[in-house]
Structure 1
Amino acid sequence: MAAPTIERLWTVQEVSAFLGVPVGTLYQWRYRRTGPRAARVGRHLRYDPADLRAWLDQQAA
C-alpha cells in the first residue's frame, strides 16, 4: 500500500502571494479569527493548502 502524500505547508508569504493580500492582513484575520486556519510550527505560522482551499470555497458560497 502506498503511503499517502502530504502537501508541504505554506508560509505566510506564500499565502499572501496566493491570495493577493498583504501579510499584515493575514495576521489581522488570524487575530480576528476570520481568515484561513493556520498553525504555529515553532515561532512560525504555517498554512495547510487543503485548509486554505476549503476556506476559499466557504468564502465563495
Structure 2
Amino acid sequence: MMREEPTGMWTHEQAARYLGVQPQTLYYMNYTGKGPKSYKVGKYRRYRRRDIDAWLETHSSER
C-alpha cells in the first residue's frame, strides 16, 4: 500500500503509480477533464486517495 504524504495528499507521480498509468497519461486526463479530482497547491497538483478511489468507482466497467 502506498503511503500518503504528511499532508494526506499524493504527488502527481504517486497518484499515477497508484492508478497504474504513466504520469503523462494522468496529465492528459486532467487536461481533458476526465481524470480524478485534484488540487492545485502552489505550482503543484496534489491528489487525495479517497478522491481517486471515488473516481475509480464511477468509472467502473461494470454497471
Scaled by the length of structure 2, the TM-score of the pair is: 0.81
Per the alignment, residue 3 of structure 1 pairs with: none
* Corresponding residue number in structure 1 for 2:52: 52
1:25 matched to which residue of 2?
25
Give the C-alpha shift of residue 49 in structure 1.
Answer: 1.0
RMSD across aligned C-alpha pairs, in angstroms? 1.2
Higher helix proportion: 1
Cα deviation, residue 22, structure 1? 0.4
Give the 4+ runs in structure 1 shifted more than 4 A: none
CA radius of gyration, larger in = 1
The TM-score normalised by the length of structure 1 is: 0.83
Shift of 1:8: 0.7
Local SS of the residue matching 2:21: coil
Partner of 1:34 in structure 2?
34
Runs of at least 5 residues in structure 2 that lack an aligned partner in the other structure: 1-6
| SS in structure 2 at match of 1:45 | strand
Residue by residue, what CA displacement relative to the aligned partner does 1:8-53 show, whole Å, maximum 9, x if unpaired? 1011111111111000011100110001011100010000111111
